[in-house]
Structure 1
């Protein structure tokens, strides 16, 4: 069995992480951080950084663990999507895509994979719900100020009414999202 050697993890920040807190202080590096080769191979960007010493005679250290190994983004279905006006047509499209399978289990699995892919793609193209709400409120606010100085034209009044309906829909989606 190969022997796993210890590897020193680099420390960033202060050189010394202990003090005796005396006038003309004694400063030491008492703590050292080691890892194994298998850890270093899995998490090559592991590092230690110093934080601010507050009450203790030791400087607290923060271990950061990261890797450059790419990870796929997890698909999370958000309930507010069901409130979107195009949701059912997106679901119907994703479910009706061909699967080229013969086994019933493989067919249903392929259909769910297609549906996930289609909804994920559609979801990434949707604007942020928070940004949409803010934009609609801003335009309604502008129209409200405009209305204080003069009557709105029929076209602007209809536009304002449709924006109010849109805001109601967006706020309903936000409520579902937060539930």
Structure 2
């Protein structure tokens, strides 16, 4: 990444599943590999990147168990140049029944930050225990 960064000056955006966390709060339990966390934080800092704030969710991945492990593995890392070029950007997590990761939607010219609304996903009706959860 360092070699690529040095060869490509200007605005940077790297978005996707990094399979790593940047903060302990990116995971819903205390089983954290702190060495990996420190190494990832060091790399992000060395590349002078910022983690865009994720709206609508705290976590982007679930193991989908009864007592789920929830982790923010997906990040949008941007350079200061990129953030200055797109000051009204808005990163939002969406719903998906096709993956254990939630898709990310990045709008680079959000004129306003939309209010968060509850959205019902029809696939919830098919989940085991759905009726028990709502009664």
More strand by share: 2
Larger radius of gyration: 1
Normalization by structure 2: what TM-score? 0.45
Relative contact order (C-alpha < 8 Å, sep 6+): which is higher? 2
Normalization by structure 1: what TM-score? 0.34
More helix by share: 1
